[in-house]
Structure 1
Amino acid sequence: MSDPMRPRASLRTAVVWEVLKDALDRRVKATGRDVLDVLDTGGGSGNFAVPAARLGHRVTVVDPSPNALFALERRAAEAGVADRVRGVQGDAHGLFDVVDRAGHDAVLCHGVLEYVDDPGEAVRNAVAALRPGGVLSLLAAGLGGAVLARALAGHFKEARRALDDPNGRWGEADPVPHRFTAEQLAALAGDAGLRVAAVHGVRVFADLVPGVLVDTEPGALEALLALEAAAAEHTAFHAVATQLHVLGVLGVPDVPEESRGTDGA
């Protein structure tokens, strides 16, 4: 795979990165611009921002943590893309205090919706930051994956509680305030005005497979990555994925500018 991240870390990121990379490539062709403006809300230390910058794009990372932004600056410098990565302190609620509206070709909203008071507002703000035709990448915790994980750990009452809880929480000690089904995440995107282009299950198997097997069995990591990629688009596996990924497009599908009609049709 073309994932530039560490092999074990790629188990958590490979599916999303491949989808995102393809979406950026399509946007480049549609706009005729080699360099896109990418916004990564809650982007932390740059797990996606730095690889996007390596593709030649300008990336702005908005994150509330000064420590994460410091790590981002260091990572970007080590990767040789410091001139294409900008970190600013902020959050999804006050997004337009630090970035412009309608100024980005792609917006990433990964690991944000679980922790905000109003996920719908966060998605609407992310959409408002897009240019027409831009793409939004949403990644959030999946309800079914949490239920399955608690059950397999023998915590059956917690699994049932998560299943019945409106926010998908398994108890007071649960560190995740919100979890989502694929339908709920897609509805948030649709309600914000996006056309849902794709839904993927992420970490369907990776969190269930013993780490020692992946580390010691020859070829196991590559085979597991291939299995994750193959299962990601199968709706049957969305219900048990640890995370869910939705790719949305603002407006019409990407069409090269030179191919668009000029007669107002």
Structure 2
Amino acid sequence: MHLLGISGTWTTPGPPPPAPVPTAAYARHVETLRGVVRHELVARALRTHLPAGPARVLDVGGGDAWQAVRMARDGREVTVLDPDPEMLERARRRLLGEPDAVRARVRLVEGAGEDAPRLVGGGYDAVTCHGVLMYLREPGPLADALVAAARPGGLLSVMTKNAAALALRPGLERRWPAALAALRAETGDASGGRPQPGGSEVGGAEPRGAEAGAAQEEPVRERPPWEGPVGLGLGPGEVALVEAGPVEMGNVGVPTRADTVEGLAALLARSGAETVTWYGVRIFTDHLGDEPVPPDVDQMVDAEWEAGRRDPYRRIARQIHLIARALPRPTG
């Protein structure tokens, strides 16, 4: 396969590793307007859906514990599982500024999300995983681990890149070749099944329960090797079409894979979770680049939150934030 002037095939046997995320680049990003808006919108959705009181939460890929600290302040017991020791060190430094009671409610564990049930056990009231799936060539094992770590009926909160909106940012930034490349790329699909029709719907502004689980009927095809841009010269913001769907060079200099809402719902359905609802993250502010946080950021977040709960706005958001629930385990 030859895409945008680059070619190559990933052929290493065994589970494909995620691309490493540069800690310094991530740290710079989270202090920008786009980083703050993302974190605030995810936190607002978690406050809306998480069980009240002393719930047990597993934050997979929780990095520097930004969300974990917020949840611990609200009285929840949070385990952060992350494979990057530098990110966990940032989390430790963040916790130093918190009261003893908050620090006591956060546990930091180094390890891969795919190993979550073995490393940190199961039975969690909620399992969160934000901004991780898009770095994985093969998301299935992580999805399985997320659902396995949750108790039956437990909450799943997963955020990843929106394949349906990859052209929006370069278009608004007047980068026309990149916008055209994104528009011409086939729809990405974490499930490995056929691309869903553009008009199909998963979830709503309000929880809809099991009716959204129909996406699990989508036929599954064998996932081919990862072909394309890893280490092969994609420039910032460029998009390539690979067998797994569109791949884009992200903000932090690492290629990221995009998913559809329908594909993400189908992926979780096959792992044993049903979609409740979903949100769009960053609609109005995504094209603003790495701007500093302005004084009116609260109003920006309010506008983003309202738009991210409804169509058609959430369909063009940069990221998908999907809320699901783990189904009862089969017995016998």
TM-score, shorter chain, exceeding 0.5: yes
- Tell me the residue number matched to 1:93: 114
List runs of 5+ in structure 2 lacking aligned partners. 1-29, 186-240
Which residue in 2 is equivalent to 1:31? none
Q: Match for 1:85: what amino acid?
A: V
> Helix, strand or coil for the counterpart of 1:105?
strand
CA apart distance, 1:104: 0.7
When residues 7 and 53 of structure 1 are mapped into structure 2, their CA distance, relative to the original with a 3 A threshold, is: farther
Structure 1 CA distance for aligned equivalents of residues 139 and 291 of structure 2: 36
**In structure 2, distance between residues paired with 1:179 and 1:210:** 19
% identical equivalent positions: 32
Larger RCO of the pair (alpha carbons < 8 Å, separation 6+)? 2
Q: Distance in 1 between matches of 2:108 and 2:259?
A: 28
**1:107 aligned to which of 127, 149, 155:** 127
| Alignment correspondent of 1:51 | 70
Does residue 1:161 correspond to 2:196, yes or no?
no
Number of residue pairs matched?
237
Match of 2:169 in 1: 149
User: Where does residue 326 of structure 2 map in the other structure?
Assistant: 250
Shift of the 191–83 alpha-carbon distance from structure 1 to 2, 3 Å rule, reads same
Instruction: Pick one of 33, 47, 50 that aligns with 1:21.
Output: 47
What is the deviation of 1:82? 1.6
Mapped pair 1:184 → 2:263? yes
- Structure 1 unpaired stretches of 5+: 29-33, 253-265
Task: State the Cα deviation string for residues 6-33 of structure 1 (Å, max 9, x = none).
Answer: 8955422222211211222xx23xxxxx
Secondary structure of 2:294's aligned partner: helix
TM-score (norm 2): 0.65
More helix by share: 1
TM-score (norm 1): 0.80
The one-letter amino acid of 2:149's match is A
RMSD value, Cα: 2.7
CA 1:109 to 1:170, structure 2 compared with 1: closer, same or farther past 3 Å? closer
Check the 8 A contact 2:55/2:76 in 1, yes or no.
yes
Alpha-carbon shift at residue 209 of structure 1 (Å): 4.2
Superposition pairs of residues 1-265 of structure 1, within 5 angstroms:
8=33, 9-24=35-50, 27-28=51-52, 34-80=53-99, 81-100=102-121, 102-163=122-183, 164=185, 165=241, 166-170=244-248, 175-209=254-288, 215=294, 220-251=296-327
Q: CA deviation at 1:145?
A: 3.4
Give distance in 2, aligned partners of 1:51 and 1:172. Answer: 26
Partner of 2:135: helix, strand, or coil?
Answer: coil
Q: Deviations over 1:173-228 (max 9, x none)?
A: 97333111222222222222212111100011122347779736xxx423322210
Q: Distance in 2 between matches of 1:221 and 1:105?
A: 31
